[in-house]
Amino acid sequence: MNERRVPGLPSRQQGLSFLGGLLGLCVIAFLASTAMKLVPHYLDYNALTKVIESIGDNPDNQIRSVSDVYSYVGKGMQVNDIRDLDLQKAMRVEADGNHLQIHLDYEKREHLIRNIDLVVRFNRDFRINLP
């Protein structure tokens, strides 16, 4: 059989080396660990925004004041098992006639390694129309 050899290329194919595979596995493990630390915070934020948006969606709600909003959102946090958030610091509510201005602003920190932390910041404004 007549083989043509290209200069500069190995004569046979070689697979992934042991060190290359180990390095790839370490990178995948690091990314999985990081995701496992951050995903719960995004799930909590998503649940919290749904609770806040539901204030205006249900006409049967008896929400008429700022304290009613804090109470309603606090109960929604209990239902969704969101425990590590101080609602008084994270949410600001202003009543404006038949509208509520709700500003949600907080950050969460997760320890990664040694003196390195992961920080995620959540910031969103809501304008809720009251019935």
The DSSP secondary structure of 57-78, one letter per residue, reads: H-TT----SHHHHHHHHHHHHH
pLDDT on residue 64: 79
Q: Give the pLDDT of residue 33.
A: 93
Task: Give this prediction's pTM.
Answer: 0.80
**6 secondary structure, DSSP code:** -
Nearest Cα residue to 37 out of 127, 126, 125, 108:
108
Q: Which two structure tokens, joined as six digits, stand for 61?
A: 């709600």
pLDDT, residue 11, reads 65
The domain spans of the chain are 40-129
Question: Can you list the residues of the chain whose pLDDT is less than 50?
Answer: none
Position 17 scores a pLDDT of: 84
